[in-house]
Structure 1
């Protein structure tokens, strides 16, 4: 459709920014949203700069494949029920895909194409929307969207977003990219604070102290397990040892198994806590210091999806003849197989880091991977250090500001030779 308008004010990035703020006004626990890498570009509409505040709203960026293409925005979260055709959609927040259409430099808005694109995303998403300037949406567009189960969001020049057509929530086929976004929205998702401690005992000790009589934080400090109790709690949650979704910590099935192991290994919960105290300030590798506990740490860490991906792909690389990889090589290799998950696991979610590592087309910039500062510390430092302590990897992790990705080694201690 052709309409005279301010093409900068309601260009596609601006429409998408307003839409994101309406659908996901707050990114809280259980939700996560990424914008396609094309919107990290400096300009739009024949060279008009994308405003910094729009970049800030749209960040973080990733290139997520759903259906036969790459939606402008993908998110997991509980949206306003008024934006859906049903009041309830179960306990699991839906995976939402958005295709935005704004004014081009010639003053046109291709709303029909946006609706068809959004419908294609429903093969992997639970909900799909097309968002466009209000005056560009026709009655024909609304009928088409209604028939294809695509929601229509109308964006005004002031930035307000009005629902024109409400979509129904549907089931879908799980894909690698969709699973990566769901993982990020879960309690196990990678954030800058997911792992702040680099020894597995700090996290294993939390469910044991939680099961003991007395205040959990006080016991962790009393037995010199860890003083940073908030960080230990957060990491134990990321490893699925405890559940904090109700505002207090409670043991998960995996956490209960850790407690049962502690009683079997040490005789009682108190004795297990005393054993932890005996490891205070030991610099010895955990799997050598306490072999049985090291095996437990190995099982707990392997259950974490990030670990599973790292170990399985390092094994495959070893089988293919690559026995030792630098971090730069490893991330480049992973990105060819699991592009969405690799970026979420290894690269910081900041606009600067994602733009340095990814092109607008979603390809890897090898030069960007040479800078240690673009990497997630919880993965390349804390998680890698824990994998070293558990006997998975040959080398410890390093803090990003001390990291040389071209010499940082990623290799298995015990690869299987087939």
Structure 2
């Protein structure tokens, strides 16, 4: 029998994650392990190796069904992991419950199956990952009956697919939606807006439409950081960034039409962009029509709607000039998973400092700017400032004072109360 240390629950989960979510660089895949696995020790006297924690990172505490799965993510799975080949165009939401050898040498496989089954109320597919040698025929029969996939982990840390589940069509709740967001082209996991002025992103569909080479046009007229502009344009859904090359989306096409309605040609529009290079003035003030277009585009970005909605609610509750710490505390109460994914860096160190093993917020850690995700607190905030939504621009994490950094709406509404 494999030892408890070699096939403990963290070891089993890390092996299962490598099979379900291999590091292939896929743009539509993302997964988080539960915060309980960020601890230094799992079984008494048996630390979790740093290598295993690194494999399981990032960490978050995501509620699916009536509990918190050990691993939750989004990815298009290969046919060997599913009972059917066809399951729609969108990657399924996957929940995993792992069980390893306890300090007494047992494995509670039945509990893992039942827990995974509970996740099917909101996930599209659920698996239990367990030591292969501990699995009985009755365990497999129960998993088949409940439509739970079963992954058997061997002592050499390979994976045997013992049972395959069918995809079920569930609507993802708010918490699961945060994981889907990170797996989408607009998610900020391991990515960055890179540039803090929206003109650099608005210009990208214009550069594609131009008859000359896209990167050359952008570098000559707008910004030399072409790759960063391309990434940000994809975040804002202005382009579809495929390996074969970027194409203009329907929203990006509207930017081109907007430009051609106001200028004689794309060249003339891009010449106007040259005039804005190096400007620190609010885009909404310098170029009101482009600023208004920016506002409409950035409003379609899911993170914007969440931030603005909650800032408005905070204003109505008398919190008129919240700091970054105030905002993150508030958001974590109402949207815990989304808050961590959007504002906190995905590194093991940052998540472990901000969240305890139960997924509760360590408020003291929020005073350190280094735990924050730069694409949100710097670039996205700057874009919202230029669009006329927020009063102040963002700051880089190493220069950030979260307790004094204000997140206030330019035009908060007075609450309408019915008589």
TM range (shorter): over 0.9
Tell me what 1:96 maps to.
94
Q: Which moved more, 1:406-415 or 1:79-88?
A: 79-88
Tell me what 1:390 maps to.
387
Residue in structure 1 matching 2:9, options 12, 17, 21 = 12
Give the length in aligned residue pairs: 414
Residue in structure 2 matching 1:241, options 222, 234, 238 = 238
Normalised by the length of structure 1, the TM-score is 0.97
Matched, 1:151 2:120: no
Tell me what 2:338 maps to.
341
CA distance in 1, matches of 2:131, 2:86: 28
Which secondary structure state, in structure 2, belongs to the residue aligned with residue 33 of structure 1? Answer: strand
Residue in structure 2 matching 1:304, options 301, 306, 311 = 301
Which secondary structure state, in structure 2, belongs to the residue aligned with residue 345 of structure 1? Answer: helix
Q: CA deviation at 1:321?
A: 1.0
Residue in structure 1 matching 2:63, options 54, 62, 65 = 65
CA contact (8 A) 2:2 2:155 kept: no
Q: Which moved more, 1:284-293 or 1:243-252?
A: 243-252
Q: CA deviation at 1:211?
A: 1.1
Q: CA deviation at 1:208?
A: 1.1
Q: Which moved more, 1:258-267 or 1:334-343?
A: 258-267
Matched, 1:120 2:118: yes
Q: CA deviation at 1:135?
A: 1.5
CA distance in 2, matches of 1:58, 1:192: 15
Q: CA deviation at 1:214?
A: 0.8
Tell me what 1:407 maps to.
404
Deviations 1:349-404 (A, max 9, x none): 00000000000100000111111001010000011011111111111100000001
Q: CA deviation at 1:192?
A: 4.1
- Structure 2 alignment gaps of length 5 or more: none
Q: CA deviation at 1:5?
A: 4.5
Which secondary structure state, in structure 1, belongs to the residue aligned with residue 87 of structure 2? Answer: coil
CA RMSD of aligned residues (A): 1.1
Deviations 1:319-342 (A, max 9, x none): 111101110110011001011111
CA distance in 1, matches of 2:343, 2:174: 16
Which secondary structure state, in structure 1, belongs to the residue aligned with residue 242 of structure 2? Answer: coil
Which secondary structure state, in structure 2, belongs to the residue aligned with residue 410 of structure 1? Answer: coil
Matched, 1:381 2:389: no
Q: CA deviation at 1:264?
A: 1.3
> What pairs up with 1:11-410 in 2 under 5 angstroms?
11-26=8-23, 27-223=25-221, 225-410=222-407
CA contact (8 A) 1:192 1:377 kept: no
Q: CA deviation at 1:46?
A: 2.1
CA contact (8 A) 2:15 2:157 kept: yes
CA contact (8 A) 2:94 2:125 kept: yes
CA contact (8 A) 2:58 2:351 kept: yes
CA contact (8 A) 1:198 1:382 kept: yes
Q: CA deviation at 1:246?
A: 4.7
CA distance in 2, matches of 1:105, 1:262: 67
Provide runs of 4+ in structure 1 moved above 2 Å: 191-194, 265-268
CA contact (8 A) 1:63 1:362 kept: yes
CA distance in 2, matches of 1:321, 1:245: 45
- Structure 1 alignment gaps of length 5 or more: none
CA distance in 2, matches of 1:191, 1:160: 28
CA contact (8 A) 1:176 1:338 kept: yes
